[in-house]
Chain A
């Protein structure tokens, strides 16, 4: 299973763009990269998933370099409601049950 490393915490201000990087040096060929968001007292919620290059949806973008040993979650113009813990997971669909969460990155957005 690919181990991931993320910063423990980050601070930002409303309206800024936030980039959270995840390292996954032993990612396997078939592995996808998935990011989840968790608010206090709630279960994690899927944000975005990708395999290579760039993926964008209505809430975030995911940038993956050619070597795939890292990935960056980009949140445009954050608001106070984006304060949460963000987790990066690496795994393949047939091993979905074996995906492991690290300790995540606690993002605090200030007014």
Chain B
């Protein structure tokens, strides 16, 4: 099991450029999420998905798009990069636990460090 993998590890973009951050998991998890973490801060939820074909917005969705065509992959697209999007991006996945069990441990990837100049 590779767990949750993210590519690239580092990326530098110029303002206005677009790119896609890749995330994949091999644990057959239904839930997947994208977070950003600014220096010295906690994680903020960008978008999430409860299964293939289903996505929804988190706390800070502006400037980002997602899609979920397969269970395994959940790419995050930056449409037109801005310096305010300089951050570390984490992808996470979790089980679809039986209702009432409360068990939804999230597994996080190693992160992508993005700098927008």
Residue B42 at the A interface, CB < 8 A?
A: yes
A97-B56, A97-B58, A101-B35 in contact; A46/B105 too (CB < 8 A)?
A: yes
- A-B pair number, CB within 8 angstroms: 80
Q: How far is the CB of B30 from the nearest CB of chain A, in Å?
A: 9
A41-B111, A42-B110, A93-B97 in contact; A100/B103 too (CB < 8 A)?
A: no
**Contact between A97 and B44 (Cβ–Cβ < 8 Å)?**
no
Stretch at the interface among B12-20, B45-53, B75-83: B45-53
Q: Nearest residue in B to A96 (C-beta to C-beta)?
A: B104
**Contact between A97 and B102 (Cβ–Cβ < 8 Å)?**
no
Q: Nearest residue in B to A85 (C-beta to C-beta)?
A: B42
Q: Which of A25-55 contact B (CB under 8 A)?
A: 30-32, 34, 36, 41-46, 49, 51
In the complex, A49 Cα to B42 Cα: how many Å? 19
Residue A77 at the B interface, CB < 8 A?
A: no
Residue A94 at the B interface, CB < 8 A?
A: yes
User: Which of the residues B42, B45, B90, B110 comes within 8 Å of A104, measured between beta carbons?
Assistant: B42
